[in-house]
């Protein structure tokens, strides 16, 4: 018997960490996930996380003639009029920079409400969109970093329902309640019912 070939889906990112994360969420699908080539550059010109996810998935799928999945995510703080939002990754030169800037701009404002959002889009080889969703995790910004896990804004994003920051959660706990975990949980039943032919 011939071994069955797994269908290839391109993850529309150049970040190996993001690929590993996707592989974890999509582990029970028989997909071969691969990184997009560096030469395919996608300008994130959307005005929402979902628009950017669609742009990335569609552009990469069309350029490679293969199925592509993309996500776009960020942190929106109420007292900062939704900032850093779409610019979450560009709010500073490093994670400590970004955290310092956010805490400095927020100061001692009593309104610490914030939300993490993650949009995911899956595009067919011709660039048309097959599926999309958006997950959110509401929380609050702490006065100072707490915890050693995670990355990005995790040490200052506190989730009242569990009484911890993202950086204080185990990987499994974070996967379950995070914006990305919520988005993938919403998408998985639909992904399982999709028929993607091996490349």
Active-site positions read 72
Residues 6+ apart with CB under 8 A from 82: 76
Q: Give the tokens for residue 184.
A: 């993938």
Q: Facing residues of 77 across strands? A: 114
128 SS3 class: coil
Show the tokens assigned to 13.
């990112």
Report whether 180 contacts 21 (CB < 8 A): yes
Q: Match 């009593």 to its residue by tokens.
A: 110
Pinpoint the alpha helices (H) of the chain. 16-25, 49-64, 95-106, 171-177, 179-192
Structure tokens at 45: 């010109």
């Amino acid at each position: 018997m011939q071994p069955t070939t797994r269908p290839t889906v391109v993850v529309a990112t150049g970040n190996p960490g993001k690929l590993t994360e996707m592989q974890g969420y999509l582990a029970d699908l028989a997909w071969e996930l691969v990184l997009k080539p560096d030469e395919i550059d996608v300008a994130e010109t959307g005005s929402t996380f979902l628009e950017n996810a669609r742009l990335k998935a569609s552009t990469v799928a069309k350029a490679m003639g293969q199925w592509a999945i993309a996500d776009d995510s960020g942190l929106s703080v109420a007292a900062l009029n939704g900032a850093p939002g779409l610019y979450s990754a560009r709010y500073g030169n490093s994670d400590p920079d970004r955290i310092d800037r956010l805490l400095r701009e927020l100061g001692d404002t009593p309104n610490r409400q914030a939300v993490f959002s993650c949009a995911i889009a899956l595009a067919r080889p011709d660039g048309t969109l097959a599926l999309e969703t958006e997950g959110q995790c509401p929380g609050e910004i702490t006065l100072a970093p707490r915890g050693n896990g995670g990355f990005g804004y995790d040490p200052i994003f506190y989730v009242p329902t569990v009484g911890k920051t993202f950086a204080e959660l185990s990987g499994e706990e974070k996967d379950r309640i995070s914006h990305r975990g919520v988005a993938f949980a919403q998408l998985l039943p639909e992904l399982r019912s999709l028929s993607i032919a091996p490349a």
